[in-house]
Amino acid sequence: MSTPLLLLVESNTTGTGRQFAQRARGLGTEPVLLSADPARYPYAAEDGLRTVVVDTADDEALRAAVTTLAAGAPVAGVLSSSEYYVATAAGLARRLGLPGPSADAVRACRDKALQRRTLTEAGVPVPRFSVAGSVAEAIAAAQWLGGPVVVKPVQGSGSLGVRLCRDRDEVAEHAGSLLAATVNERGLTTPGVVLVEQYLTGREFSVEVFGEDVVTTVAKHVGAPPVFVETGHDVPAVLPAERSASLVDSAVHAVKALGLGWGAAHVELRLDGDVARVIEVNPRLAGGMIPELVRRALGVDLVGAQVRAALGAPVDLTGTPDAVGAASIRFLTAGDDSVLTHVVTAESAARAVPGVVDASFYRPAGTPVAPAEDFRGRVGHVIAAGTDPGETAEVAGTALTLGLATALVPAAARAAVPA
């Protein structure tokens, strides 16, 4: 009898993509990566993952590839770990009669303008916002909102294209740049509008939801404006009970209002006084290694849960007895143009800090590193785990400073420092 297939429509380039395939194998299915360019994901070749080259932006081509696969073995599930292809995977699962979220709900959720309108109509607290299809409209929106505003694409992830604009000229420049782009970083057509929103200065959090159940609240650390690069996460977030409840209430209300309620949702919020305002709902697992923090801290395998849900298997969100209680991650970014040096020594120093369970660079020694504009500018991470959230946060920060960060040398000194 043929082994059932779990189809993975594209992948994220870092983080959980590899884990999706690993969990699929552990559940007795064969993962198959459908991709226009499998070389984009080095782990696929490294792990011997079966791949099919197909234009994943072409529904007919995708349908034909799946029909060919299904002739050789039963298709048991369809998933994507990529923000850009969750709707495609949902639609494919629906056509095959397999478990998955509403494809229409996922498509609507991925359009941040439509998402904002839906949440507003449902009474979910969100920042004040406007949608602009031209530079003039963006400037008018900023004037209406008053003060600094955030200008961002209506589709995307990883803080790509998200920028704080403090005056008319900055709004015009950034909105003009976004509106001039006809395709995004994945080569997919852009909608031709941008979101202009109120700049909130309160602390940022995420609530990880599965179905309509809250798994945990995460404290997020974000770099200095004008960009919004996520530099770390703490699981669980330590908050007064009433503020924690406010975050949870807003997140669950948002998920229900958007018609989701299947599988994972990553809800990002900021506190505005005592009000938890939803920045965006992502109809997928969190990025930034948050699922790994949840697994270590709480013993809940969100990646495994997502794969099980796609296969129609029971999902148990109860933590395991070996969970330690807390975990933190800190990402390495450069403050100035730099170069990576002595990465092996720096990584060893980070791992030597008591409480550190993982430390890694994403690039080899000798690589030039510019200040991060989005998640692609992160060059490494440190993860700490333990019983106390405050301690794990401190440990991760210490290991980053005394370990990984020592590998960054100013570019001006590059010639004088061996790789």
Positions marked catalytic? 284
Name, in order, each residue with C-beta under 8 angstroms of 395's C-beta and a sequence gap of 6 or more. 328, 353, 354, 355, 356, 384, 386
Determine how many CB atoms are found less than 10 A away from the CB of residue 242: 8
Looking at the DSSP bridge assignments, the partners of residue 327 are 235, 385
CB 307 within 8 A of CB 23: yes
Residue type, 5: L
* Distance between CA atoms of residues 26 and 10, nearest Å: 20
What's the first-to-final CA gap in the chain, in angstroms? 53
Q: How far is CA 256 from CA 90, 110, 249, 260, 262, in A?
A: 18, 15, 11, 6, 10
Amino acid at 347: E
Extract the tokens encoding 246.
């406010």
What would the two tokens of residue 170 be? Answer: 């900055």
Beta bridge partners of 338: 369, 410
Do 345 and 292 form a contact (C-beta atoms < 8 A)?
A: no
* Amino acid residing at 129: F
Cα–Cα distance for residue pair 412/339, rounded to 1 Å = 9
Question: What does the buried/exposed string (b/e) look like for 286-305 if buried means 16 or more CB atoms within 10 Å of the residue's CB?
Answer: bbbbbbbbbbbbbbbbbbbb
Position 88, amino acid? T
Instruction: Compute the distance between CA of residue 179 and CA of residue 153 in angstroms, rounded to an integer.
Output: 9
Angle at 309 between CA 56 and CA 109, to 5 degrees: 55
Q: How many residues does the chain have?
A: 419
